[in-house]
Amino acid sequence: MADTLPRPRLPERLARAGYGMVGSVIALLAPGLLRRRLARGKELPGRWREKLGHSDVPRPAGRLVWLHAVGLGEALALRGLILAMSDRAPDLRFLVTSSTRTSAQVLAQNLPPQTVHQFLPLDAPRFLNRFLDHWRPDLVVWSEQDIWPGAIFATAARGVPQALVNARITADSFTRRRRLAPLYRAALRPLALVDAQEAGSAARLTALGARDLAASGSLKPAGPALSVDMAELETLRAALHGRRIWVAGSTHPGDEAAAIAAMQALDDPAWLLIVAPRDIARADSIAQAFIAAGMPPARRSQGQIPGAACRVWLADSYGEMGLWYRLAEVALVGGGFDAIGGHNPWEPARLGAAILHGPDTANFSTDYAQLAAAGAARAVTTSTLAEAITDSAANTAMAARANVLVAQAATHVSQLADRLCALIKRPPCA
């Protein structure tokens, strides 16, 4: 455990001291910077002070597990783990932090029971201590690549056990972090458990100083299905009866250009494309692109439902991906036609949609490699997308194979939940 570790070596102590000085500067500048971001509409008006460690939400009684993920996809991947831990210890309560505005808006509709969301405070001692004084976690679980040295040091000083799960670190990221090796060695030292997505990440984390490391796989396949308003789902199924639906989800400009080309190649008017952009602030420009291509979209934000002659529905709303994927036969997962690195393929897989993706899947390389090896996803180009959408037999088979992988992932999450619950020092009802 962290409180039994040997004293850090001199380079680590110096790195911690230097990072602490950076945190002091952050504490001076942050309030003004956040207020300027608020004035530009980049912070949520009622919640920006959470990044300074303040909270209007009371701490729940009993044992509390704090889990952190940087953004939407990473945070949603933690939901299956939360449910598994709750099954083993029903008294546990959960706090999920993230850093992005979109993650807060979508998580509000997809949080597991007994779970609250807050923004992660900035990595400065003043804000972190205020946050920790309020929440007093019994276990802290970091995920993927988003570990914050200041938060880890402040938590370790209180004797709270910490873990890193679903960990991944690319070769490029490893090269950058190796330049600050003493700092990352100091940050990884207090982690009592590190579980990586694959062997490459495990080796790189070991080289940076991680201990007690395993490589059990990704959490994303075991995440629970995205939530949905069942009444709305049935209403839309009735309204769209007879249409064949495919979704382009979490899209960026390159994905939308590929979708336009595919719709121009599809000669069956029964096909309806639902476009769900990653950033709905781009909705007007996306609508203009489809209008220019001769396919004016219906817009969800305006309460419009596509008529028989409408070929595109622009889903310019937050938190409804569970609805769109349930309506679809096929899903093009966005981020693959730009320099984005792809997005989470398991969300549509969990809901029975066949998975298509563009060439760039760097941020989800392990996930897509697993799907490809099982014949459960298909890489497409702009010129092959339309053909892939209409290959019904192949798509049905891909969706079934992906469902098998989802079921297998539940075993990994169950075992990880056992290991995490064992780290909590305080007994139930203490």
Active site members:
74
Residues 6+ apart with CB under 8 A from 398: 354, 355, 375, 376, 377, 378
Encoding tokens for residue 85? 């831990």
Residues 6+ apart with CB under 8 A from 244: 268, 270, 271, 272, 329
Residues 6+ apart with CB under 8 A from 266: 386, 389, 390
Encoding tokens for residue 251? 């899209």
In terms of C-beta density within 10 A (0-12 exposed, 13-18 middle, 19 or more buried), how is residue 242 classed? exposed
Rounded CA separation 259/248 (Å): 7
Residues 6+ apart with CB under 8 A from 380: 258, 332, 356, 357, 358, 388
What three-state secondary structure class fits 162? strand
Residue 224 near residue 79 (C-beta atoms within 8 A): yes
Rounded CA separation 179/174 (Å): 9
Dump strand ranges (E) for 205-307.
Answer: 213-215, 244-251, 271-277, 298-299
User: Residue 186's Cα: distance from chain center in Å?
Assistant: 26
User: Residue 294's Cα: distance from chain center in Å?
Assistant: 34
**What strand order describes the sheet that includes 298-299?**
298-299, 312-314, 271-277, 244-251, 330-333, 354-357, 378-379
First and final CA of the chain: distance in angstroms? 21
Beta bridge partners, 143, equal: 146, 165
Rounded CA separation 358/385 (Å): 9
HSE-CB of 243 using CA atoms within 13 angstroms: 25
Beta bridge partners, 301, equal: none
